[in-house]
A = this chain, B = another copy of it.
Amino acid sequence: MSKRVHNFNAGPAVLPVPVLEQARDEMLDYQGCGMSVMEISHRSKEFESIIQTAEADLRDLMGIPANYKVMFLQGGATLQFAMLPMNLRAAGASADYIVTGSWSNTAVKEAKKLGDTHVVFDAKADNYNRLPSAGELQLNPQAAYLYYCHNETIHGVEFKDDPTPLAGVPLVCDMSSDFLSQPVNVDKYALILAGAQKNAGPAGVTVVIAREDMLERTPANLPVMLDYKLLAESGSLHNTPPCYSIYIVGLVLKWLKGLGGLPGMYELNRKKADLLYKAIDNSGGFYRGHAQAAARSIMNVPFRMPSEELEEQFVKEAKKADIIGIKGHRSVGGLRASIYNALPMAGVEALVQFMQEFQQKAG
């Protein structure tokens, strides 16, 4: 038996044990072909089946309409932050960005390098503990698109009701850290991007789901690896894709389908998040969540304690109890528990029990 810990890492993050077991068992011989998935050609029938099955399962799970293309790309969300304006924002046009935390902030920085970028909301004054109300958004009816981040991994704020763009303005969403955690209406979006290393697989592959009319915006003469239109039309196979990462994503998607798809996953995620937030709320202020209640993420739960010394001690003792990855990001401080799809309820229960015991000892 392998040793396993309670893995609260923010990403790369915990993966389902059955996925890892299958990857282990197939490492030297994928389904009788006598090669590892890492050793087969991306033009082979074996890999074609892997990538096509992954796409079909993703379409099935998310209900992706036929007029959307699915891409498996490289470079993480960070490369998407540049590809997005390169492809979707015509020369001279402006794009609207909602800033609710570190990741949407980074997206703005990249977009500004490449052209006119309008920040329509920024929660910096509240240290990104809340979401905008509809009335706070100063939207541009001529915007090339309206961009937002569905879940801010560092600040732990997650949209429940998505921002509504003005008529004719495409909605673009960074879904990296709550991708596949809940049902989603894909047809609200013109483009969805998601780095895989939170809920969908290992680092090194990024899923992009784009409505076909968006691909018509790609300007001529972009380098091929930055060209949505070309990458979409090639089925992510213009050059060698990150084959092994796509294979793992495919295994995760099968695992999700076995759990009842996104509604089943969401129910479990809600239960996990409720348990953890209840422990925070019932601690009499010993633990304090960073996000305002209405903005709380079901994936990333940053919280503080009465002193930095206690926080440090908490991290140290948690590690002894095999509770890993609990230190908060330096911009928020304190603790953060990332409770992604593959983190089982038993992991949250172990954390909550540890929190209660720690508080009793400290009190």
Contacts and interface: CB of A to CB of B under 8 A. Distances in A.
A361 interface: no
B203 A243 contact: yes
Contact of A113 (B11, B42, B222, B240): B222
A278 interface: no
Nearest to A4: B34
Contacts of A248: 38
A322 interface: yes
Nearest to A78: B239
A79 B223 contact: yes
A82 B23 CA distance: 34
Most buried by B among A41, A82, A223, A238: A223
Contacts of A201: 38
Given A39-B12, A75-B225, A78-B225, A203 B241 contact: yes
A204 interface: yes
Most buried by B among A38, A77, A226: A38
A34 B12 contact: no
A91 interface: no
Interface in A232-277: 238-245, 248
Copies of this chain, count: 2
A27 B29 contact: no
A32 interface: yes
Interface in A187-232: 195, 197, 201-205, 221-226
A42 B76 CA distance: 13
Contact of A34 (B3, B27, B240): B3
A175 interface: no
Interface in A26-65: 27-29, 32-36, 38-42
A14 interface: yes
A24 interface: yes
B15 A36 contact: yes
A9 B33 CA distance: 13
Contacts of A244: 202-204, 244-245
Given A4-B29, A9-B35, A79-B226, 16 more contacts: A7-B34, A7-B39, A14-B35, A14-B39, A20-B27, A23-B27, A34-B324, A74-B75, A74-B76, A74-B79, A76-B239, A78-B239, A202-B242, A203-B240, A204-B204, A204-B242
A117 to B, nearest CB: 13
